[in-house]
Chain A
Amino acid sequence: MTRIWAIASNTFREAIRDRILYLLLVFALLFMGFSQVLSLLTVGGEEKIIKDVGLASISLFGVLTSVFIGVALVSKEIERRTIYTIVSKPIHRYEFLLGKYCGLVLTLLVNTSVMTAWFYLILFLKGFADPRLLLAIALIFMELLLITAFAILFSSFSTPILSTLFSLSLYLVGHLTWSLHLLEERVRGSGGRAICRFLYFALPNLEIFNIKTEVVHQLPIPATLPLWALLYMAGYGGAVLATACIILRRRDFT
């Protein structure tokens, strides 16, 4: 645990020195501030627009941060050959990977907190502050944790560019898995239907974490949904990280 924490704190320090993080954060904050300008161009709907833009900024820039920083974490160590020094020390490879993951999670937590604080400042000044938005942000954070796990998995066996492509594609696919459900209803053969069903359950379903519409429109949200989303993230994320550990363990760094 101490070893994981040591790597995590080191990763956090490394990540907060990354210019990409600040660039994305500044963009997110500017984008949220821009919602004020957008609301000037509309007739009604100001509150909805500010909330939509705020939540979308936290989600979108959070995803970009987790992908861009997440894919660099392991691959950079391999490229710079610093991993050779690390694996020669009495540390398990899974500890190294988990440390990297936890470090990035900490970075994302700080990042999301700053964005949330800024978002709430705008909402507060406008008189639109609503505690239910925190639930949507919590679920966005869970989504980021899952995407980070994927980014680390891809970076454990691929180049940073490919890992970025894989992770972003997976993010897009994760928001489209519901269409497999529709496809399943239209496919005639039982084989095709089975494939659709398999893919539906095998691919990450990131829509589980999407309650932005419900929160913005104050629609009812099933009380157990956040819990199931947390379990989904823990189960899926755990499996992805375990796969990344297996891949890293099999790689030859001697």
Chain B
Amino acid sequence: MKGVLVVLLGALTAGTAAFRVDRLREGSAPGYHLLYLPSGRSLKALTFGYEGLVADLIYIWSIQYYSNYQIQDRYEYLDQIYRRVIAELDPHFIDPYLVGSMIMSVEANRDDLALKLLDAGTRNNPREWILPFQAGFLCYNKLHDYACARDNFQRAQAIPGAPAPARRLFAEMYNRLGDKRTSLKYWAEIHDTADSGYVRQVSWMHVHDLRLEVDLDDLNALVQRYRESHGSFPGSLRDLVRAGLLDAVPVDPDGNPYTLSPETGIVRSQARRLLQGR
């Protein structure tokens, strides 16, 4: 009887103490100590060959931690947890790069950290197209940093197994940067090598509009050159041929000739831009 009483008393004391400690730590998320882990490289020494498993456990904890909206300051150690701990413990674990960068960008609004994490992932896993692709998409869609997007899509599309949109986005980023000529070159390549009707149709729309804009830019530049040498605008585009500036009068992508206004010196086309309003 005495023994049972001692057991009950012990259980009661321990239960009360545990409850009090929980109250003292109220507001701290479970496993918050993990936020103060040293870098993954140092931690690796303590995992004794189980670094993959330790990385899994910290990643699983991070999902629970960062999805707890009651923790106000939960985004303070994002870089530490994902880039310095998990990525250094298991550099080939792809999901933490993707999920971590998404939390950084969408939830914490720290696109700089997201890009740093994805860059680290790309360096550690040069054969994984998804990492530069996600970085490219972040630069393109959220930051509107088209040079950054172009560089990342270029990396992604060069990796075997990359999906076709990576190549199309790479071509389009030149257009967004104002380099229509290079964009046209890549869109034309996509069109010529298209293996589906959909890709052929989409790429044709880009080639069509870019061809139109490049032609108009070129023709208007030739009209200006003509004016500089002749003192007036040419009467028609045939004058450019006669002056040796053009081999023949070009036609637009729809097969119609370009027209020149002799009064303003502006070259126009009747062709409708296929991507307008899209």
B59 touches A219 (CB 8 A): no
A52 touches B56 (CB 8 A): yes
User: Distance (Å) between the CB of A153 and the closest chain B CB?
Assistant: 21
Q: Can you name 14 A-B residue pairings with CB atoms under 8 Å? A: A38-B57, A45-B93, A45-B96, A49-B60, A56-B53, A59-B49, A60-B50, A171-B48, A176-B45, A206-B49, A207-B49, A213-B51, A213-B90, A216-B52
Residue A53 at the chain B interface, CB threshold 8 Å: yes
B56 touches A41 (CB 8 A): no
Residue B28 at the chain A interface, CB threshold 8 Å: no
What is the bound-complex CA distance between A52 and B51, given in angstroms? 9
A44 touches B48 (CB 8 A): no
Contacts of B57 in A (CB 8 A): 38
What is the bound-complex CA distance between A49 and B93, given in angstroms? 10
Residue B98 at the chain A interface, CB threshold 8 Å: yes
Residue A2 at the chain B interface, CB threshold 8 Å: no
Residue A179 at the chain B interface, CB threshold 8 Å: yes
A175 touches B63 (CB 8 A): no
Question: Which 4 pairs, one residue from A and one from B, show the smallest C-beta to C-beta distance?
Answer: A44-B95, A45-B95, A217-B92, A175-B48
What is the bound-complex CA distance between A209 and B51, given in angstroms? 14
Shortest Cβ distance from A45 into B: residue: B95
Q: List B238-254 residues whose CB lies under 8 Å from chain A.
A: none
Partner of A210, one of B45, B49, B56: B49
Q: Decide if the interface of chain B is mainly helix, strand, loop or mixed.
A: helix
Shortest Cβ distance from B125 into A: residue: A217
Residue A212 at the chain B interface, CB threshold 8 Å: yes
B52 touches A43 (CB 8 A): no
Shortest Cβ distance from B61 into A: residue: A41
A175 touches B49 (CB 8 A): yes
Contacts of A38 in B (CB 8 A): 56-57, 60
User: 1/0 contact trace for A56-86 toward B, CB 8 Å?
Assistant: 1001100000000000000000000000000
Residue B64 at the chain A interface, CB threshold 8 Å: yes
- B interface vs A, CB < 8 Å? 45, 48-53, 56-57, 59-60, 63-64, 90, 92-96, 98-99
B52 touches A42 (CB 8 A): no
Contacts of A60 in B (CB 8 A): 50
What is the bound-complex CA distance between A59 and B95, given in angstroms? 25
What is the bound-complex CA distance between A171 and B50, given in angstroms? 13
- A interface vs B, CB < 8 Å? 38, 41-45, 48-49, 52-53, 55-56, 59-60, 171-172, 175-176, 179, 206-207, 210, 212-213, 216-217, 219
What is the bound-complex CA distance between A86 and B53, given in angstroms? 45
Contacts of B56 in A (CB 8 A): 38, 42, 45, 48-49, 52-53
B99 touches A44 (CB 8 A): yes
Contacts of A55 in B (CB 8 A): 52
User: Distance (Å) between the CB of B250 and the closest chain A CB?
Assistant: 52
What is the bound-complex CA distance between A176 and B99, given in angstroms? 31
Known contacts A48-B93, A52-B56, A213-B90; is A43 also within 8 Å of B48 by CB? no
User: Distance (Å) between the CB of A219 and the closest chain B CB?
Assistant: 7
What is the bound-complex CA distance between A48 and B93, given in angstroms? 8
What is the bound-complex CA distance between A216 and B49, given in angstroms? 13
What is the bound-complex CA distance between A52 and B52, given in angstroms? 6
Known pairs A38-B56, A44-B98 / 6 extra A-B pairs, C-beta < 8 Å: A41-B60, A44-B94, A52-B53, A56-B53, A207-B49, A217-B93
Partner of A213, one of B45, B60, B92, B94: B92
Contacts of B60 in A (CB 8 A): 38, 41-42, 49
Contacts of A42 in B (CB 8 A): 56, 59-60, 63, 95
Known contacts A49-B56, A52-B56, A213-B92; is A41 also within 8 Å of B63 by CB? yes
